[in-house]
Chain A
Amino acid sequence: MDNIVEIQCEPPVRVENELCSRFRCTKSQCAACAAVCPVPRAVRFVEQGVEITGACIACDACASACPNGAIQPAESDRRLAERMRERVRPPAGFRIGCERAEGPADFVVPCLSRLTEAVLLEPIRCGAERVELLAPDCSGCQLERAAPQWGMVLNLARALCESAGFDADRIVRTDAPRRKREMTRIPLSAPGSRRAMFRAFAKWTAKTAAAAMPDAAPEQTAAEAFRAIVQRHPENPKRSHLLEVLQSLPGAEAQPTVVPAAGKPFAHLEVTPGCAGCNVCETLCPVGALRRRGENGTFALDFDPALCTGCRVCEVACFHKAVRVRETVDLSVLFERQSATLISATRRTCRACHETFLGDASEFCPSCLVSGDRRDAIARRFFLGGNRGDWS
């Protein structure tokens, strides 16, 4: 039965693998989606990144939590913001309510964890004086595990408000009493029998299975090599939405606001001189925040802090531990869009493998030197009596 349900139930959210840091780098420990998902076993980590199973209840907390925007809900953030814009009546305050909250809400979402920073700032962009979140006590709610997510988004939106030169209290949380739960019970005299229901289910199964078959076949033939996929750096829809909103905030003046980077979807990178110019960070960066520039025999790495989501793929992937994420981040970079050059060094071409490398110690690149020398040295030392691992 488990299988039938999983095959038939299309998950209501879509995972864009190219943006998922787990898909791009297997060393990534990102578990933002799984940490907030209120349903057990709805998020599965597989070899191909993340899989959302049919158990998903479409609360979209994972979409809000994913820094890279890899999880895309059925209703995109932009469309949600559009719906919200229609209800804003400036300069009055705007109240966003949880479905469970009792109170006069202008806009109701199923769970507050659906909101992103961009969506929270949308009413302010439209001229609203304040944004209030009507939130009941989340403990005991079935979506309780998603509750920390909206708290984090609220704090981030307040920090962004400050960096825009506004008062942070333009976005606040207001306690609201919890609405009494309405018991939904199947009426005893429901029309139709159980047999009719199963028949309908069987008919629906046959229909959807037949419809799904032709789609599945070409998908397999069009499988692209992983190597080619990671060369692409798609746009992060979440971040581009946020930048769009921040650009058009009325009366915003960027103020330097330094916040700790831990747990936030922003970061600033540093590259130490240990960099070997291997370009792995640029290749694996899901959102294209790093760009390589190479002209006149130099190697330069450009970094756009406004695009960086702090997923730390570059940090964990770098073999030479040359990339470091700074502990603090200045939020005003989101307004200014200045790209920084992290490293600029002379580039040379290896005589053996014709690959480029940094540094001028030899004509051969360090990896060619290392593997050949190592092999010789190890064999010699082994023969002369060292390095003997005894199995027998």
Chain B
Amino acid sequence: MSEYSPVIPREAVDRSFAKQGPKQYTLWVDIEHCIGCNACTMACKAENNTPIGVDYNRVIEIEEGDFRDPRKAPNVGVTFVPMPCMHCGRPACQAACPVGAITKRKQDGIVLINKDKCIGCRYCAWACPYGAPQFNAEAKIMEKCTLCVHRVEKGQLPACVNTCPAKVRFFGELNEITVLMREKRARSFSISVAGADTKPSVQYTIPR
């Protein structure tokens, strides 16, 4: 395991905020060092005040290896993959929405659901390969991760990034992040899905 150092310094985030013109804000998650504490999920719930059953960010637990063979030493591991909205470059949810309630903002690349327009048909949930849109059964509308747009517009970090105790979630502009990665010689991946060319923007660094 490589020695760990937080990759994105505050200056890079400031550069991201200051950047003019069309850009794509995104998250970078280092799942090699994620401890699966679910603090991001809870911070998101508190920040966005979501009801029970609606989680903008969920952490998927993956167990691998086995120790069923008594002759071998047990070789098991648990990895956690936080799954927020990917804020895709070509959102499948936007294409599926029959009333045009989902928009991708040019100025920051955030995909947002207009709560006044949404008719709660859940077509976005059908279309999204990542299961990001969540149905709010009380209000009968769809909701999803907004990348804490209300905080980002004020120049603050999203709640999940701010709260992450292991410091594995970072926020920034996609190109800035990519440049930093290249400098650090780290490899990042986005979760692409065969058959759905949505150009997801959220980046993951995985254990080698």
Measured CA separation A305–B192 after assembly (Å):
44
With contact pairs A225-B116, A354-B137 given, residues A25 and B99 touching in the complex (Cβ less than 8 Å): yes
Contact across chains for A382 and B125 when beta carbons are under 8 A apart? no
Q: Is residue B127 contacting chain A, with contact meaning CB distance below 8 A?
A: yes
Q: Is residue B25 contacting chain A, with contact meaning CB distance below 8 A?
A: no
Q: Interface-forming stretch among A233-241, A245-253, A277-285, A328-336?
A: A277-285
Across the A-B interface, how many residue pairs have beta carbons closer than 8 Å?
134
Q: Is residue A390 contacting chain B, with contact meaning CB distance below 8 A?
A: yes
Contact across chains for A375 and B178 when beta carbons are under 8 A apart? no
Name the distance in Å between B134's Cβ and chain A's nearest Cβ.
8
Q: Is residue B58 contacting chain A, with contact meaning CB distance below 8 A?
A: yes
Residues of chain B with a CB closer than 8 A to A384's CB: 64
Whose C-beta in chain A lies nearest to the C-beta of B103? A47
Whose C-beta in chain A lies nearest to the C-beta of B53? A352
Across the interface, A230 reaches (CB within 8 A) one of B119, B135, B190, namely B119
Residues of chain A with a CB closer than 8 A to B129's CB: 374, 378
Contact across chains for B190 and A389 when beta carbons are under 8 A apart? yes
With contact pairs A226-B116, A354-B137 given, residues A374 and B130 touching in the complex (Cβ less than 8 Å): yes
Measured CA separation A326–B93 after assembly (Å):
28
Measured CA separation A372–B54 after assembly (Å):
12
Across the interface, A370 reaches (CB within 8 A) one of B31, B125, B134, namely B125
Name the distance in Å between A224's Cβ and chain B's nearest Cβ.
9
Residue picked from A278, A382, A388, most chain B C-beta under 10 Å: A382
Report the contact-size class of chain A (Cβ under 8 Å from the partner). 35 or more
Q: Is residue B121 contacting chain A, with contact meaning CB distance below 8 A?
A: yes
Measured CA separation A221–B35 after assembly (Å):
49
Residues of chain A with a CB closer than 8 A to B58's CB: 375
Report the contact-size class of chain B (Cβ under 8 Å from the partner). 35 or more
Name the distance in Å between B140's Cβ and chain A's nearest Cβ.
8
Residues of chain B with a CB closer than 8 A to A353's CB: 53, 135, 137
Q: Is residue B122 contacting chain A, with contact meaning CB distance below 8 A?
A: yes
Name the distance in Å between B128's Cβ and chain A's nearest Cβ.
7
Contact across chains for B131 and A372 when beta carbons are under 8 A apart? yes
Q: Is residue A208 contacting chain B, with contact meaning CB distance below 8 A?
A: no
Contact across chains for B119 and A392 when beta carbons are under 8 A apart? no
Residues of chain B with a CB closer than 8 A to A167's CB: none
Contact across chains for A24 and B99 when beta carbons are under 8 A apart? yes
Measured CA separation A26–B100 after assembly (Å):
5
Across the interface, A389 reaches (CB within 8 A) one of B117, B135, B192, namely B192
Measured CA separation A227–B119 after assembly (Å):
5
Residues of chain B with a CB closer than 8 A to A278's CB: 121-123
Contact across chains for A25 and B98 when beta carbons are under 8 A apart? yes
Interface residue ranges of A339-392 to B (CB < 8 Å): 352-355, 366-368, 370-376, 378-380, 382-384, 387-392
Residues of chain A with a CB closer than 8 A to B204's CB: 382
Whose C-beta in chain A lies nearest to the C-beta of B185? A392
Contact across chains for B98 and A380 when beta carbons are under 8 A apart? no
Contact across chains for B193 and A387 when beta carbons are under 8 A apart? yes
For the A-B complex with A27-B98, A355-B122 known, give 11 more contacts whose Cβ atoms are closer than 8 Å.
A226-B99, A279-B121, A280-B121, A283-B121, A317-B98, A319-B126, A375-B131, A382-B81, A387-B191, A389-B192, A390-B187
